[in-house]
Amino acid sequence: MTATSSPRHGTRTRGAIFAPLEDVGRAVRVEQRLADAIRSGVLRDGERLPSESELAAMLGVATVTAREALVSLRAQGLISTIRGRNGGSYVTRANLHDPDAQAARLAAMSRVELHDRGTLHLVILTGCAELAAEFADGADVDLLASLLPVADDVDPGHWRHADAELHLTLAALSQSARMTRQVVGLEADFGALLRQPLGDPEFQDFTRNCHEELFTALRAHDGAGARGAVRRQLAGALDELALLHASYR
C-alpha cells in the first residue's frame, strides 16, 4: 500500500499545471496541459476540476477558451460532466493504462523511437534530481521516501503508482514550473510504458535501492549523487523495456 500524496507535493505540482499560459486564447494549450495532467496521474480519477470560470482565471484565458478545452477533453473520454447542484467536470482516467493497450503500443514502436523517448526522459529527470538536491529539505525527502511501497509489497500497480508519484514530486522539488510541466508531459506520453518492468519483483528491489540512494544524496545536497541515482534507475528500466520490446519483434 502506498502513502497518499502530501499537500506540499500537490501544491507545487498543481501550481505548475494551473499557472497562467504564456500565450493566451489558445484552447489547445489548455487542453494539452490538462490532458497531460490527467494521463500522468497529477489529476486523479474521479477528481473534480475547477469550474470553467475558475479554470479561465487560473490559466489567464477567456472563459470560452476554457469551455472549448473541456469540450475536447470530454470528447477524448478524459473527463465527464455532471449537471445540477453538485455538478461539474470530473476526471475519468481509470482505463488509461490497460496492460494490453500498453503492450500493443510498445510493440508498435521502432527501436529508434523507444531509445529517443527514453533518452529524453532520462535527461530531464536527472536534471530535476540535481536541482532537487539543491533545494530539498529533510521534510521533502521524507515525503519522497514515504511514497515507496512497504518492504513486502510486490503489487505491480502499487509500484508503478509509487514510482510515478516519486518522479512527479522530484520534478516539483526542482522549483521550476516549466520543468515540472515538462515531466508531467513525459509521464503522460511515456511513463506507463517505462514502468512495465516493475511487474518483476527483482526489478522492484533494484528500483528501491536506486531510490534509497537518491534519498541519501538529496539529504546530503549531493547533486551529482542524486543525478547518478536517477540515471541508474532509469537506465535499468530502459534496458528492461528494450528487452521486452525485442521479445515482440
pLDDT digits (tens, 9 = 90+) for 196-214: 999 999 999 999 999 999 9
CA 155 to chain centre: 19
pLDDT for residue 13: 76
Under a CB-based contact definition with an 8 Å cutoff, are residues 166 and 125 in contact? no
Show the domains of the chain with their CATH numbers: 3-97 (1.10.10.10), 100-248 (1.20.120.530)
96 has pLDDT over 70: no
Considering the entire predicted model, what is its pTM?
A: 0.78
Angle at 2 between CA 166 and CA 144, to 5 degrees: 30
Percent of the chain having pLDDT more than 90? Answer: 60
pLDDT band of 171, cuts 50, 70, 90: very high
Q: What is the mean pLDDT of the chain?
A: 88
Each residue's pLDDT tens digit, 124-168 = 999 999 999 999 999 999 999 999 999 999 999 899 989 999 999
pLDDT for residue 3: 42
> Which strand (E) or helix (H) includes residue 79?
strand 79-82
CB atoms within 10 A of CB 191: 22
Q: Which residue has the higher pLDDT, 26 or 162?
A: 162
